[in-house]
Homo-oligomer: A and B are copies of this chain.
Amino acid sequence: MPLAMTPQCEVLIDGMHSASLPVHDRGLLYGDGVFRTLRVVAGKPLWWDEQVAKLTEDCARLGLLAPDPETWLADLEHISPSLTDGVLKLLVTRGSGPRGYQLPPAGSVRRLMYFDATTLQARPRAGLRMRVCALRLGWQPRLAGIKHLNRLENVLARAEWNSTEFDEGVLLDQAERVVSGVMSNIFVWRHDQLLTPRIDRCGVAGVARARLMRLAKAHGVDVQETDLSLQAVFDADEVMLTNSVTGLRRVACLETKHWLDPVISPRLAEWLDA
């Protein structure tokens, strides 16, 4: 990822500055929670309303009582990344509870806000270099689309390469369908259509993905959520990845296949960032 880590990180837990979390938090014990990662430019978090709305929706999917948008806004004011660039993370867990999977009393949630003052590198002009991951995502419709804290599949997939030779990996599911990148959603442009995999069996339905689909449609583009084979990606006129922090980036190569020039990506990136 084109991010430099700096030690400048602030964290609020339930609105209070804190660097540590109770050890009985169900986020740790079971991955029982959800999160969002946002880009902050000059103190302003991008796509804030959409991010908070998606977090609220993900909470509902897991039966978590989502914090109010006003509460997140108050946290944002408190953490005050004034005029700073960086990455903001919003995270909700089901709080602490007695031992065992059984849900603690309703309304028991804990919210965390992280702000990392990091400098984002300029978008790489040459495009991203991708590989195909060996790991196949399992199907779990009950969790599909949600950015929850059970991310071991992503960790294992990302651990498949350690070199800087590749920027991202393509994730397939157990039926060999393309789902996404390890850290991004994927779009292909082919025959004047914008295609992206359905996220109803596995994968995360990112905010940048939803935003791009909406905006491209509004500009008259034929956008389809569909089953996508790896061959369809290789055959694409252009391949692009979306991520809330890094925006839209085009893919320069996937394994031995190369795409030399941008086709539609500059226009889509402009719409997405508008």
Contact = CB atoms under 8 A, between A and B. Distances in A.
Interface of A: 1, 3, 5, 9, 11, 13, 18-32, 35, 62-63, 87, 91, 93-94, 98-103, 112, 114, 116, 118, 135, 137-140, 142-143, 148-159, 162, 174, 182-183, 202
A25 B22 contact: no
A32 B151 contact: yes
B100 A183 contact: yes
Contact of A22 (B20, B31, B87, B135): B20
A99 B116 contact: yes
A139 B18 CA distance: 38
Contact of A103 (B91, B135, B138, B155): B155
Contact of A32 (B25, B32, B155, B183): B155
Contact of A155 (B30, B155, B156, B157): B30
A103 B158 contact: yes
Given A13-B23, A148-B152, A101 B142 contact: no
A87 B100 contact: no
22 contacts: A20-B22, A25-B28, A26-B155, A29-B35, A29-B91, A30-B151, A31-B31, A31-B150, A31-B152, A32-B152, A62-B152, A62-B155, A99-B116, A99-B118, A100-B183, A101-B158, A101-B159, A101-B183, A138-B139, A138-B143, A140-B153, A143-B153
A140 B142 CA distance: 15
A189 B274 CA distance: 65
Given A30-B151, A99-B87, A23 B11 contact: yes
A1 B155 contact: no
Q: Nearest 4 CB-CB pairs, A to B?
A: A31-B31, A138-B140, A150-B150, A20-B20
A159 B28 contact: no
B19 A22 contact: yes
Contacts of A22: 19-21
Contacts of A99: 1, 3, 5, 87, 116, 118
Contacts of A156: 62, 142
Contacts of A62: 152, 155-156
A113 to B, nearest CB: 10
Nearest to A144: B138
Contacts of A94: 155
A12 to B, nearest CB: 10
B100 A3 contact: yes
A236 to B, nearest CB: 25
